[in-house]
Amino acid sequence: MPRHIALLRGINLGSRNRVSMPDLRELLASQGYGDIATLVQSGNVVLTSRLSPKRLERELRKQIADGLGVDTPVVVRTRDELADVIARDPFGAAAKDPKRYQVTFLAEEPGADAVRAVEAADVAPDRLVISGREAFTLHPEGIQRSKAAAAVARHLPTGTARNWNTVTKLLELADS
Instruction: Flag whether pLDDT at 13 surpasses 70.
Output: no
Quick one: pLDDT band at residue 55, thresholds 50, 70, 90? very high
Domain co-membership, 66 together with 110:
no
Residues 74 and 91 in one domain: no
Q: How many Cα atoms within 13 Å fall on the side-chain side of residue 95?
A: 21
Q: Which helix (H) or strand (E) holds 172?
A: helix 164-175
CATH number for 39: 3.30.70.1280
**What mean pLDDT is predicted for residues 58-75?**
94
Residue-level pLDDT at 57: 96
Same domain, 77 and 53: yes
35, containing H or E segment: strand 34-39
User: Which of the listed residues 62, 81, 100 is the one where a domain comes to its end?
Assistant: 81
Domain end, chosen from 22, 55, 81, is at 81
Tell whether 64 and 114 lie within a shared domain.
no
Given a contact cutoff of 8 angstroms between Cβ atoms, the answer to whether 61 and 76 are in contact is: no
Tell me the DSSP string of 60-119. Answer: HHHHHHHHHS----EEEEEHHHHHHHHHT-SSGGG---GGGEEEEEESSPPPHHHHHHHH
The H or E element spanning position 151 is helix 147-155
pLDDT at 14 over 80: no
CA distance 8 to 45: 8
Phi and psi at residue 98, to the nearest 5°: -60, -15
Asked if 149 contacts 139 with a C-beta cutoff of 8 angstroms, the reply is: yes
Same domain, 159 and 111: yes
* Domain range enclosing 123: 85-175
Question: 148 and 107, same structural domain?
Answer: yes
Residues 121, 100 share a domain = yes
For 52, the 3-state DSSP assignment is coil
Per-residue pLDDT band for 81 (boundaries 50, 70, 90) equals very high
Report pLDDT digits (tens) over 104-162.
999 999 999 999 999 999 999 999 999 999 999 999 998 888 999 989 999 999 999 99
Q: Please tell me whether residues 135 and 67 are part of one structural domain.
A: no
48 & 96 share domain: no
Same domain for 59 and 117, yes or no, is: no
Q: Give the residues across from 118 on adjacent strands.
A: none
> Do residue 61 and residue 89 come from a single domain?
no
Give the separation between CA 27 and CA 36, rounded to whole angstroms.
Answer: 10
For residue 12, pLDDT over 70 is answered with no
Answer yes or no: do 166 and 109 share one domain: yes
Q: Of 81, 113, 130, which residue sits at a domain end?
A: 81
Domains contained in the chain, number: 2
